[in-house]
């Protein structure tokens, strides 16, 4: 791995420990508050603990952006060993993390903040591309420019089984949540230009609609870069996840399909039984 450029991100990019190690990526965890207790994503709390807390208390977690001081500490420590740092954040439309990273970066030479305009492994795809470009010998400024150009081609979407977390988090009305549950509607949440919006609404049981969702998102696979395709989920049954990988491979036999689990920050907003397929489009 490149020794003069550090690729880093907040913990919302949801890459597996194996991929983080493979590409030499460093992660700053986001904050998670449960009641009056503060935790750090993936360090002293995991998504299952969040679900257990909610089931016991009915209380949703609250997530916290990384503050400027923490970014400054991170950049100060790592500029001792790296000429350049390229730091990727969750979409600026969803969090103040990018704004804080950009402000902190202004105090250091060779530090760049990149707005992924995405979340979860949508941002993780950019991280991997950046690490690969660094390894190929590209300079930091060129990597940042290339990633900003690739970001609009990231296709990120999710199917949500139950709108309870979105409703209680203020992201959909009680009427919409009730209607969706009554009619067994499973909305597809699409990330477009850095924002989440509702796409197609599938009807039926969660496991049954996922196969159709994946085949429709992937199509014949001809417009998808197949080196990294992610099936990312929040606490889904292993059988369901494996079936979704099978469906993706059926459309794209030559694709490298990776399974990742959403971390605490993403899981805090979508709830259990959420699954998406994420990839980079060629055009």
CATH for 156-281 (3.30.1180.10, 2.40.50.100, 3.20.20.20, 3.30.420.40): 3.30.1180.10
pLDDT in tens, 155-201: 999 998 876 655 444 444 333 433 344 346 788 889 999 988 878 88
Q: What is the CATH code for 5-30+65-151?
A: 3.40.50.10170
Residue range 213-221: mean pLDDT, rounded: 95
Q: State whether residue 81 is helix, strand or coil.
A: coil
Phi and psi of 132, rounded to 5°? -65, -40
Please, which residues bridge with residue 34 across strands? 37
Residue 157, token pair as written in the block: 């979407």
What is the DSSP-derived secondary structure letter of residue 278?
E
Q: State whether residue 60 is helix, strand or coil.
A: coil
Please tell me the predicted confidence (pLDDT) of residue 171: 45
**Stated length of the chain:** 283
Q: Do 231 and 126 contact (CB within 8 A), yes or no?
A: no
pLDDT in tens, 70-120: 999 999 999 999 999 999 999 999 999 999 999 999 999 999 999 999 999
Give the separation between CA 250 and CA 207, rounded to whole angstroms.
17
Residue 153, token pair as written in the block: 């081609």
Give the separation between CA 269 and CA 173, rounded to whole angstroms.
15
CATH 3.30.1180.10 boundaries in the chain: 156-281
Q: Do 189 and 175 contact (CB within 8 A), yes or no?
A: no
Mean confidence (pLDDT) of the chain: 90
CATH 3.40.50.10170 boundaries in the chain: 5-30+65-151
Residue with tokens 């509702």: 198
The strand ranges marked E within 100-236 are 111-115, 154-155, 157-160, 185-192, 195-203, 224-234
Give the separation between CA 270 and CA 266, rounded to whole angstroms.
6
């Amino acid at each position: 791995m490149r020794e003069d450029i550090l690729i880093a991100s907040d913990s919302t990019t949801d890459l597996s420990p194996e991929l983080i190690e493979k590409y030499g990526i460093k992660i700053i965890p986001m904050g998670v508050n449960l009641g009056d207790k503060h935790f750090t994503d993936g360090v002293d709390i995991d998504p299952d603990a969040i679900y257990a807390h909610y089931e016991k208390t009915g209380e949703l977690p609250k997530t916290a952006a990384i503050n400027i001081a923490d970014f400054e500490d991170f950049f100060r420590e790592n500029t001792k060993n790296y000429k350049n740092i390229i730091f990727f954040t969750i979409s600026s439309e969803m969090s103040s993390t990018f704004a804080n990273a950009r402000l902190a970066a202004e105090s250091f030479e060779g530090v760049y903040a990149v707005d992924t305009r995405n979340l979860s492994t949508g941002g993780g795809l950019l991280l991997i591309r950046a690490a690969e470009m660094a390894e190929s010998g590209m300079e930091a400024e060129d990597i940042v420019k290339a990633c900003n150009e690739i970001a609009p081609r990231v296709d990120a979407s999710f199917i949500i089984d139950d709108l309870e977390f979105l409703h209680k988090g203020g992201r959909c009305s009680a009427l919409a949540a009730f209607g969706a549950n009554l009619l067994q509607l499973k909305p597809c949440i699409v990330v477009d230009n850095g924002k989440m919006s509702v796409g197609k609404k599938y009807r039926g049981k969660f496991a049954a609609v996922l196969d159709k969702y994946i085949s429709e998102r992937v199509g014949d696979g001809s417009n998808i870069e197949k080196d990294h395709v992610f099936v990312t989920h929040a606490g889904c049954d292993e059988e369901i996840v494996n079936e979704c990988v099978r469906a993706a491979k059926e459309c794209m036999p030559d694709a490298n399909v990776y399974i990742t689990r959403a971390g605490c920050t993403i899981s805090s907003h979508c709830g259990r039984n959420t699954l998406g397929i994420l990839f980079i489009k060629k055009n």
